[in-house]
Structure 1
């Protein structure tokens, strides 16, 4: 009898997620039926009778890897300590052998039209909550024959069970003098972990700092079942697929032999504006901390087809960079034995100092475990993380608009994050932080822009605000604080003129500039600074007195010298 204490499986996932990840789940419905537990119909009479109902009963279970697939069925019901799967459909058709064709043993080996022909569909059933479904084929010998069973595609399933033939009634494979009228089949599916690939930048959906500074992109996914396992019996893995999804030779495995996935990769094409400063791979348990895996042993990194031999992995080319992380067998074994459930590849990058605009990033996960077709899935494009920078320009002119060339060169400007900072001379430096002049760290310089002959100065690669920090925690909360629409991504800066052109007055107060994603590329000047020439002040009394004193001192000196000369002449 079937065990009655089946555990009901409820998975809170969407159909599209299951489809992209290839999760094997199954169920049956015959109206609002549930399959009654009854004694299996087996007759000791070796001659098929005309009174027994013919049927096929399905039992559907989930397994995590090929080591749990068990032995092939014998048509009888078996107790299985696995999770039942509901909602999987099986289509049943009656077939006829072609004279002169091969014996019908396996639809993967025999060919339709050459070895057998297919009749009408007998019916389709769906597994119920306990993982079972039963299809009635009729009563008497007219229902006898060979049936082709096909598990139908399901959005949740990576690889449906392979099609198979069923003889009804079937000869008992232990007692060859008995017939089984209700043939029990127990196809299983390897249930993959939901990969749920997700890409963030500094742990957020968006990010913005002064261009030129390092920041991290994190490509994360759940670790699937079947990357590493140990066979608990002699077995043959069949069918086996290559990377393109073609069926290849079966793999015989001995009891105790280690079984590894064909591959597990995370691939990312970084845009040309990003320079790579390092790549690392980390894994963790659900509640644990991220732990570094070992470069060159647990994983390898390939950039544009070239395997990287040394760490840190870097690339500063001005082209797109295709970066692929391959989890090696040592890494597969490590994450399996450590019980890690999540893995991520972290790309440390920077842009040029004057980068303006938006950078977006996307990645893919590919893996192939024994007994499954290759899996390819990508993080949702609507959740791709983005990086933002903006800039602006200043035009410096003389107040005399009628002058032949009123564009002023040589004016120097610095910027501040607020009016208060500007008034206190706390300016932004090239590391993105703000300092007083007396507190500027060694090796760090203030952002300084000087007007050229055309009177224009520019500030580029400035950080922008991309989300509303509602809880004031200084971080974008992925599930609560969405990224602004493009036209709302902006930040206010305050401009201070720190040196005026020769002959002109300084700007007397800070000026506000609102910087967004368009200010760096439009044709307008975000700030027009008009300088007044220095005025010619009148001479003061102080200056005249000093002149008279200087003349008097000179006269006295000359007179004294003349007297001395005259005395010497008379003595002589």
Structure 2
């Protein structure tokens, strides 16, 4: 009697195993729950695992069953190249026994002790997002995503277990070439610059950041979200405006702006109330206002900047954008002797020729609108914007000499009547960009010794003497006649 009951018991156990396999998901619950007897396992059949890696779409979809999906089912998905996965055999479970299959019931990745894992075998996805692990043993394997590659991964795929072979619940057979499709939610962050209103140092430059909230993925939830901008030392933080697109009732109390993590860094951290408003596909937009305060200590006036978004601690960085600044160096010399440098000349800079001629809207650089030549005759106007938003054509400025050095005339080529156009140099150097010559003021005409002026005075003097002599002779003659 006991011999007759044993086959029945094995069939009941096998039936329970097949039912469990039919409902198991591939990620975290991919294993059969009990012994399976869906036809005998052919231990000599080669076994392999193929991982297909795609970006998580807006909807999660359904769990695959271990068979390769038709190409039409994945044609709209984005493959991820360069993602590394590592597989490890679970060494304390023997799938060549019913006890081994039964041990997989309710088994989870977290329940496996490190001591019961074999050596890791890594693999990296190709252009199609695929890794193939061929020639594997009949065993249970732990599959872990270990490196994201160059992808902006927000949520890594959760570790999962898979058996080789895998029961095929639809065909009541075994799958020896198992295909799995773990997906990654990706972060997205972009950055632009708006310096259109800026002209000189002290002007405002706004950095616009847009970071998308990633799509939801299996086994993951949004636990933290932050945006960080590490500002160039030549920039000073002013303020940050944070909003959601589409709007979702974001309040100033839903996040905090921290400008103290490190020198020049600004970080926007979302609190629990703010995280609840960050729905997949929502864009977090930040307008970061800064002031360009100096160009000192740099050989270039090009200021680059990027931003990072941290989702559950995973970082993604935007492309770099830039704002371009430079200087103009003016040397004042005597027109007759260029080795003589002239101190005290005053200049102003304008954005248009019309403003230069009218003397309106002089550009301010670090609070100054008048720039004076020093004892070496040098005027260094350091801190004029070179291009709009870091791109396009050089900006043309107009220079006017408003006051000449003492004893000299204003240069006719750099005057209000004829302002001089120039562009700035983003390579902050000591070379002279503009040389302005001043003509010395003309002196009054003075009489020359022995010249016509002296002869004239001598002629007048001799004439006066002749007249005086004639008068004297006449008086003497008169006196003589009276006496006679």
TM-score (normalizing by structure 1): 0.51
Question: Does 2:290 match 1:349?
Answer: yes
Match of 2:231 in 1: 270
Question: Does 2:85 match 1:181?
Answer: no
Question: Does 2:215 match 1:225?
Answer: yes
Moved more, 56-65 or 181-190: 56-65
CA distance in 2, matches of 1:354, 1:56: 60
Question: Residues 272-311 of structure 1 correspond to what in structure 2 (within 5 A)?
Answer: 272-285=233-246, 293-295=250-252, 297-305=253-261
- Tell me the alpha carbon deviations over residues 467-490 of structure 1, each in whole angstroms, 9 at most, x when there is no partner: xxxxxxxxx6xxxxx836xxxx75
CA distance in 1, matches of 2:336, 2:45: 104
Question: Does 2:321 match 1:384?
Answer: yes
Aligned residues: 387
1:429 to 332, 355, 362: 362
| Alignment check: 8 A CA contact 1:161 1:188 kept | no
- Tell me the alpha carbon deviations over residues 20-49 of structure 1, each in whole angstroms, 9 at most, x when there is no partner: xxxxxxxxxxxxxxxxxxxxxxx9968847
Give the 3 Å change call, closer, same or farther, for CA 187–221 of structure 1 in structure 2. Answer: same
SS at match of 1:331: helix
CA distance in 1, matches of 2:361, 2:134: 75
| Alignment check: 8 A CA contact 2:386 2:426 kept | no
Unaligned 5+ segments in structure 2 are 1-34, 448-484
Shift of 1:186: 8.4
Question: Does 2:387 match 1:465?
Answer: yes
- Tell me the alpha carbon deviations over residues 231-282 of structure 1, each in whole angstroms, 9 at most, x when there is no partner: xxxxxx96x8xxxxxxxxxxxxxxxxxxx52211111111222122211212
- Tell me the alpha carbon deviations over residues 379-409 of structure 1, each in whole angstroms, 9 at most, x when there is no partner: 23xx43233232323324374679xxx5444
Give the 3 Å change call, closer, same or farther, for CA 270–431 of structure 1 in structure 2. Answer: same
Question: Residues 156-171 of structure 1 correspond to what in structure 2 (within 5 A)?
Answer: 158=153, 159-160=156-157, 162-166=159-163, 168=165
Give the 3 Å change call, closer, same or farther, for CA 291–407 of structure 1 in structure 2. Answer: farther
- Tell me the alpha carbon deviations over residues 339-382 of structure 1, each in whole angstroms, 9 at most, x when there is no partner: 763222221111237878222112211111xxxxx4211123xx
Match of 1:362 in 2: 306
Shift of 1:211: 1.6
Match of 2:278 in 1: 335
Shift of 1:192: 1.5
Question: Does 2:355 match 1:410?
Answer: no
Q: Which runs of 4+ in 1 moved over 6 A?
A: 43-47, 49-63, 72-78, 86-95, 98-102, 118-121, 123-126, 133-137, 151-154, 183-186, 353-356
2:194 to 189, 193, 202: 202
SS at match of 1:385: strand
Higher helix share: 2
Give the 3 Å change call, closer, same or farther, for CA 341–526 of structure 1 in structure 2. Answer: same
Shift of 1:164: 1.4
- Tell me the alpha carbon deviations over residues 271-318 of structure 1, each in whole angstroms, 9 at most, x when there is no partner: 222122211212224xxxx899432x2211112239xxxxxxxxxxxx
| Alignment check: 8 A CA contact 1:217 1:346 kept | yes
CA distance in 2, matches of 1:399, 1:357: 35
SS at match of 2:444: coil
Shift of 1:110: 3.0
CA distance in 2, matches of 1:393, 1:360: 27
CA distance in 2, matches of 1:512, 1:83: 63
CA distance in 2, matches of 1:357, 1:45: 73
SS at match of 2:159: coil
1:110 to 109, 112, 118: 112
Question: Residues 474-553 of structure 1 correspond to what in structure 2 (within 5 A)?
Answer: 483=391, 490-510=394-414, 512=420, 514-517=422-425, 521-524=429-432, 526-537=434-445
CA distance in 2, matches of 1:421, 1:193: 50
CA distance in 1, matches of 2:226, 2:351: 43
Give the 3 Å change call, closer, same or farther, for CA 45–305 of structure 1 in structure 2. Answer: closer
Give the 3 Å change call, closer, same or farther, for CA 409–226 of structure 1 in structure 2. Answer: same
Give the 3 Å change call, closer, same or farther, for CA 223–168 of structure 1 in structure 2. Answer: closer
Shift of 1:179: 7.0
TM-score (normalizing by structure 2): 0.59
Give the 3 Å change call, closer, same or farther, for CA 518–160 of structure 1 in structure 2. Answer: closer
- Tell me the alpha carbon deviations over residues 168-189 of structure 1, each in whole angstroms, 9 at most, x when there is no partner: 47598xxxxx975348988564
| Alignment check: 8 A CA contact 2:341 2:377 kept | yes
Unaligned 5+ segments in structure 1 are 1-42, 138-142, 173-177, 228-236, 241-259, 307-319, 369-373, 433-443, 467-475, 477-481, 540-572
Question: Does 2:139 match 1:146?
Answer: yes
